[in-house]
Structure 1
Amino acid sequence: MKLRDSFIRPDIAAMEPYTPIVPFEVLSARLGRPPAAITKLDANENPYGPAPRAVEALQHGRFYHIYPDPEATALRAALSAYTGVPAARLLAGAGADELIDLLLRAVLAPGDVVVNCPPSFGMYPFSTAVNAGRLVEVPRRADFSLDVDGIETAVAAHPTAKVLFLCAPNNPDGSLLDDATLRRLLALPLLVVLDEAYVEFAAEEQERKERKEEERRERKEKNNLSAPSASSSAPSAFLPSPSRITWVQQHDNLVVLRTFSKLAGLAGLRVGYGAFPEWLLPHLWKIKQPYNVNVAAGLAATAALEDVAWLHDTVRRIVAERERMVARLAAFDWLRPYPSHANFVLFRVVGRSAAQLQQALAQQGILVRYFNKPGLANCIRISAGRPQDTDRLVEGLQRIVEINE
């Protein structure tokens, strides 16, 4: 027997690799188009790029030749001010992906069960496999809501169940998770990991609704000539109201993960963070890589949190463009959108091939994500871009229709 056959774990040898997004330079060469001629709506990235203060911080950084702070002290202090969670309960990482892996390394013995609710983020089953866990799946319903009874049954049937992964807004459909459901799941005897990568976009929607309600009340009061009610203006800090990150202080089996990739346009620097139970953190600190948040990522993320007005405005623009995209694509009745509270929209393609549609758009330099797995048959997911990106998408779809007529 060769060493290469005997040294690799059998489960690793048998597992499928994760399929990442193709690098931009490779895409450019493959499509024969310069980057400026590519409309990239396939990875839920921030189309406006990093916050200006983050760019400035990177330009003026002085210590790239020195190892970074292993505790990311400055970043965690800024995150504490942003989230309202004590810095001692926060851990930063090289993206939320690293924190998912770190958590599973800390808690899983070989064969321990992780409960997943597909369709959802592909990193959950991938990291479970890498860490020798056993994946038990409880599929979502047709409307992408959770099968809570099914989750409870699965946990009861598997005494070694350690972790339940949830994503809200969920990737790839953008659905939310209500408080009552989360509280019910927190009653289960396992860690509940809530991935809030897209929560800022749901927060913007809630703030818009609150502003409209306030305007409605003001109009009513003006018409009735009554005394004005107390103001319900948005808080000065941009803390997403749908977020449950502060719940970690009341629930010792809740983990909440967040990222700078979507909100702050720092996907390329790989920086995320999480709020964890107090009892779990010492073990995560023991096993994490000592310098996991590099100097550039730490500088950029910390500076981005000082640019709250820019972050808020960018999220507002993305949410507005998501709604505009749905309205524009209503002209194509074979694209059926699902309600989304994130920076993307999932469409079911009816009467046409979603795979062929994705390829036809790619030939025009327009990139969208194609799915054809359980619960996502013949679907595409389109990220919300800038107005010019939406316009180009509509033009590309119109060309496809004209060619096929």
Structure 2
Amino acid sequence: MTVPGPFCLPVQLHGGPDAAGIPVFDFSTNSNACGPCPEALRAVQAADATRYPDPAYTALREALGAFHGVVPGRIVLAASASEFIHRITALAAQQGAVQVAVPPHSYGDYAQAAQVRGLDVLRSGGAAAGLQWACEPSSPLGLEDPALGVWRQCDAAAWRVLDCAYVPLRLGPEGAWTGAPPPYLPSACWQLWTPNKALGLTGVRAAYAIAPPGCEEQALGLTALASSWPVGAHGVALLQAWTHATVQQWLLHSLRTLRDWKARQQALCIDLGWALHAGSLANYFCAHPATTTLQSDLAALRASGIKLRDATSFGLPCTVRLGVLAPAAQDALQAAWQALPGRTIPGCVSTGSGETS
């Protein structure tokens, strides 16, 4: 009898906890550092986990539809943004898509979902014979995605999806979140929303998408591809809380704090001799640390309880992405970095490939 070898899962790089546990100071994710939102947290904690949710999510879809000013038939629930990315890619492939266009630097699941289905990936972010992705603001750089201007000016392609994960965490100066979906977003595309980042509750996996006007049939097709109850009771509670005016008021207050923290954190990085990537509109930014040993430096920081996001896998070698954290975390980063040996000028050599989150 032949004994099969060990089954190895592909490793996807992500921010947040890892095999070493939960970092004391975690700059590697883009979660709202002012969180968790107290009202949303109470709603999640009070969720009735002894019963199934409504399999049609009737009340939740009505609430989300009212929040966005669309009919409930345009709302598609998802277990997470990543789950939806794979599901809409599968449907696009079923309907004849042969290519997927992704931004040059972007969340890795866009490309990974295409590659596992044998679709060509165009990393220019341009037009594709099938599925096109954009993210507003972009990750990891936090810039406005140039695809938005194109999408506003021309007819919608069969499959265009705007990842709105960071729209509620946009700090401005232009287009900052106001407590409601902003009007500048193009409507003739799918919008994918994941409020758990804005509410500081990334451990609750729940998301939803809004179909373009007149695409209710596609919404039904996507719903048919989902498993039963893709969102559990805790996810339902989070998404319901997201629509509450008091939760939005908390978010707006937190954005004012994040603006101050971001300015302080960027100044601290400059004091360390790091070169910043300019133009970030969000609660995160990228920087080029002054070191020739970035990988070993990041490992040393992780061993001391501080985690940064290596951006090599985004196609940005010698670069880190930093979520904005509170001043105490910033000071810990400064002290830990200055304690590392061999502080030198920028010019590290880094290797790696593949797009990641």
Q: Distance in 1 between matches of 2:98 and 2:29?
A: 31
Report the secondary structure of 2:288's partner residue: strand
Q: 1:390 aligns with which of 330, 336, 345?
A: 330
In structure 1, C-alpha distance between the alignment counterparts of 2:313 and 2:234, rounded to whole Å: 37
For 1:22 and 1:262, locate their aligned partners in 2 and report how far apart those are by CA, in whole Å.
Answer: 12
Q: Are 1:72 and 2:57 counterparts?
A: yes
1:14/1:56 Cα in 2 relative to 1: closer, same or farther (>3 Å)? closer
Root-mean-square deviation (CA, aligned residues, Å) is 3.1
CA-to-aligned-CA distance 1:345-368 (integer Å, 9 cap, x gap): 111235533323322322321110
The residue correspondences of 1:33-182 to structure 2 (distance < 5 A) are 38-61=24-47, 63-109=48-94, 112-138=98-124, 151-152=126-127, 155=128, 161-177=129-145, 179-182=148-151
Secondary structure, counterpart of 1:27 in structure 2: coil
Inter-CA distance 18–375: structure 2 relative to 1 (3 Å threshold): closer
Identity %: 24
Task: Decide whether the 8 Å contact of 1:336 with 1:350 is kept in 2.
Answer: no
What one-letter code is carried by the residue in structure 2 that aligns with 1:97?
S
**Alignment of 1:299 onto 2:237:** yes
Task: Give distance in 1, aligned partners of 2:175 and 2:220.
Answer: 37
For residue 290 of structure 1, report the CA deviation from its aligned partner: 1.8
2:298 maps to 1:329:
no
CA distance in structure 2 between the aligned counterparts of 1:334 and 1:203, rounded to whole angstroms: 22
The whole-number CA distance in structure 1 between the counterparts of 2:16 and 2:271 is 30
CA distance 1:321–1:82, shift in 2 (3 Å): farther
Aligned AA (1:309):
Q
Kindly state the Cα deviation for residue 390 of structure 1 after the two structures are TM-superposed.
1.6
Question: Which of 216, 222, 225 is the equivalent residue of 1:287?
Answer: 225
Question: Deviations along 1:62-101, whole A, 9 cap, x unmatched?
Answer: x312111223233323322332233221112111111111
Alignment gaps of 5+ in structure 1: 6-12, 29-34, 139-145, 156-160, 209-233
| Matched residues, number | 337
Tell me the equivalent position of 1:265: 200
Deviation of 1:173 after TM superposition, in Å, equals 0.8
**Pair 1:340–1:280, CA change in 2 (3 A):** same
Deviations 1:280-310 (A, max 9, x none): 1121121111200101110122124321211
Higher mean C-alpha displacement, 171-180 vs 13-22: 13-22
What amino acid is the match of 1:391? Answer: D
2:317 to 357, 373, 377: 377
2:12 aligned residue: 18
Kindly indicate which of the two structures has a greater share of residues assigned to helix.
1
Shift, 1:22, TM fit: 6.0
Q: 1:141 — aligned with what?
A: none
What does residue 286 of structure 2 align with?
Answer: 346
Inter-partner Cα distance in structure 2 for 1:207 and 1:375: 27
Q: Mind listing any 5+ residue stretches in structure 2 that lack a counterpart?
A: 346-357
Question: C-alpha distance in 1, partners of 2:97/2:68?
Answer: 35
Could you tell me which amino acid in structure 1 is paired with residue 149 of structure 2?
A
SS in 2 for 1:257: strand
Cα pair distance change 1:243/1:90, threshold 3 Å: farther
- Contact 1:111–1:132 (CA under 8 A) maintained in structure 2: no
Measure how far apart 1:50 and its partner are: 2.7
Q: Which residue of the other structure, out of 352, 360, 372, is the alignment partner of 2:300?
A: 360
For residue 14 of structure 1, report the CA deviation from its aligned partner.
11
Please report how far the alpha carbon of residue 339 of structure 1 lies from its aligned counterpart in structure 2 after TM superposition.
2.1
Q: What secondary structure is seen at the aligned counterpart in 1 of 2:170?
A: helix
Deviation, structure 1 residue 38: 0.9
Give the distance between the partners of 1:404 and 1:39, measured in 2 at CA: 24
SS at match of 1:330: helix
Out of 180, 184, 189, the position equivalent to 1:239 is 180
Please, which moves more after superposition, 68-77 or 348-357? 348-357
AA aligned opposite 2:325: G
Describe the SS at the equivalent of 2:340.
helix
1:199 to 151, 157, 167: 167
Relative to structure 1, is the Cα distance of residues 267 and 77 closer, same or farther in structure 2, using a 3 angstrom cutoff? Answer: same
**Partner of residue 20 from structure 2, selected from 27, 40, 44:** 27
Deviation at 1:319, TM superposition (A): 3.0
> In 2 relative to 1, CA 87–324 (structure 1 residues): closer, same or farther, beyond 3 Å?
farther
Deviations 1:229-282 (A, max 9, x none): xxxxx96xx1143651xx43xx2xx11111022111221110111111323112
One-letter amino acid of the counterpart of residue 334, structure 1 = W
SS at match of 1:192: strand
Distance in 2 (CA, whole Å) between partners of 1:241 and 1:27 is: 39
Report the TM-score, using the length of structure 1 for normalisation: 0.74
